[in-house]
Structure 1
Amino acid sequence: MSGAAIELKDLCISYGKTQVVHDVNISVEHGESFALVGESGSGKSTILKAIMGLAPDWSGEISILGKSRLHGADKQAALQCQMVFQDPYASLHPRKTIDDCLAEGMSIHGLSGRDQKVKDMLNAVGLDQRFRFRYPHQLSGGQRQRVAIARALMLEPKVLLLDEPTSALDVSVQAEILNLLKRLRKERNLTYLMVTHNLPVVSFLCDRMAVMRHGRVLEIADVTQLKQGRFNSDYAQELYVASGGNQ
């Protein structure tokens, strides 16, 4: 394995007898923001689940910060890599306060300094301290997603996996969250691996992208190619046109 932040080598993932990801090879550099794009069912989110240990049946190699990931629960990997899910309401426990949601990871890993860390992370994502003892249903969608991002940062990972982090939000709120993610990446020297179907989001937040279809990577392109609409595969060109990129 190289010294990349995330390295996927010959990654294959199956659900039962059905193989959904085929021989994926991707290297994401330290500090890079990399997107997986493609239509629904192309295997994008499944790859994130495998990296997080949520897809049990995979083969090949997954490396995070130069260390190969084990199958199943891997506490060391969790300290280095966390995930922000698509729907912040579904990913936050409805009967736990924001304080408890944020501190849960610290408790699992036996880390001290909970009180100050919760305060710091709320500040980091632009939430007032008064939100600390509220419940998820008392927050707006954008506020809940800020909490989800804060929770992912509580263990101070260097890698964040972002699964359609703005698609469940109103358009007016999407820009706020994208700006927040851009700022946090710069301030904390984070590496992002993001799943999205939204090419304008890729153009704003990412350096490179892998175009996926039917569980395979068709091509890897940088953001300059995206902005120019210059791709090698017909499918990537179709995605670009469908996103309004030819206008």
Structure 2
Amino acid sequence: MTALSLKDLSISYGDTRITHGVNIDIAEGESFALVGESGSGKSTVLKAIAGLAPQWAGSISAFGKPRSHGIDGHFARACQMVFQDPYGSLHPRKTVDATLTEPLAIHGVGDRNARVETAMTSVGLDRKFRFRFPHQLSGGQRQRVAIARALVLQPKILLLDEPTSALDVSVQAEILNLLKRLRREQNLTFLMVTHNLPVVSFLCDRVAVMRHGRIVEIADVAALKKGELQDPYSRELIELSADHAD
């Protein structure tokens, strides 16, 4: 079954067109990556899906149900986003408990105490952190809170915007392993934006390469690992990634 479908998605900010006719179908349980240089439009795609870039044309649907342009509570229950910066995405004056309880209150979900504890356990956070503030947590712990916040509504789709890029290298592997485990245990579908091709190779099944707001190639990650992407720009990205690794 198709979990997330984008058809002819064109996104604008004012008079400026950011993406042009993006078409993606992501299967249930699949992990799909969007890659490309800064400004290619990949993060804008996530924002449109999440309702943070409301000026778009085309269609966005989750499990066959279309997303409206405004606030869409039903869609939000199915699809949640984890942001790049765990320092900026958590309110500094809200405890972990308040951060995790807020989405449940907004959507009128009961059994909040149990749901908060389950979400914390699923991301490997001890209950002693429940009433701490963000400044009392490490970067990795903050990102675990951000992931728990996304999971507390029990969505089936996670949008991941560079989920490890703001973390120390030693912590990045922990979060990637956590995401891989969560996907397996909860049958989650991922759409991840990243510039890090080794992360794509580790976590994803397929990859779409974006340039100037357009998708130039969609390929299996096996082709990425073998260096067999077809588009010249895709091959250029692989070469740049290899240079940085050196």
- Scaled by the length of structure 2, what TM-score is found? 0.98
**Displacement of 1:119 after TM fit?**
1.0
Give 1:14-25 correspondences, 5 Å limit. Answer: 14-25=12-23
SS, match of residue 21 in structure 2:
strand
| Structure 1 position 155, deviation (Å) | 0.3
Matches within 5 A, 1:32-181: 32-181=30-179
1:9 aligns with 2:7: yes
Q: Deviations over 1:187-240 (max 9, x none)?
A: 000000000000000000000010000000000011110110001111100110
> How many pairs does the alignment contain?
245
**Secondary structure of the structure 2 residue equivalent to 1:93:** coil
Q: Distance in 1 between matches of 2:228 and 2:79?
A: 32
Offset at 1:79? 0.3
CA distance in 2, matches of 1:205, 1:158: 17
Q: SS state of the match for residue 243, structure 1? A: helix
Residue deviations 1:168-187 (CA, integer Å, cap 9, x gap): 00000000000000000000
SS, match of residue 45 in structure 2:
helix
| CA–CA separation in structure 2 for the residues paired with 1:68 and 1:119 | 32
Backbone CA RMSD of aligned residues: 1.1
Question: Which of the residues 28, 31, 45 maps onto 2:29?
Answer: 31
1:210 aligns with 2:171: no
- Partner letter of residue 243 of structure 1? S
Spell out, residue by residue over 1:93-140, the C-alpha distance to the aligned partner (whole angstroms, 9 max, x if none): 110100000110000011111111111111110111000000001000
| Counterpart position of 1:228 | 226
CA separation in 2, counterparts of 1:72 and 1:44? 21
Give how far 1:37 is off: 0.1
Q: Which runs of 5+ in 1 are unaligned?
A: none
Q: How far apart are 1:29 and its partner, in Å? A: 0.4
Any stretches of 5+ residues in structure 2 without a counterpart?
Answer: none
Per-residue deviation at 1:65?
Answer: 1.2
Letter in 2 for 1:215: G
Matched residue SS, 2:173: helix
Q: How far has the Cα of 1:9 moved from its partner?
A: 0.4
Instruction: Flag as ranges the 4+ runs of structure 1 deviating above 6 A.
Output: none
Corresponding residue SS for 2:2: coil
Amino acid at match of 2:224: L
Give the Cα–Cα distance (whole angstroms) in 1 for the partners of residues 113 and 8 of structure 2: 42
Distance 1:102 1:180 in 2: 18
Q: TM-score, normalized by length of structure 1?
A: 0.98
Tell me how far apart the structure 1 counterparts of residues 156 and 54 of structure 2 sit (CA, whole Å).
Answer: 24
The partner residue of 2:199 within 190, 198, 201 is 201
Provide the rounded CA distance (Å) in 1 between the counterparts of 2:112 and 2:70. Answer: 27
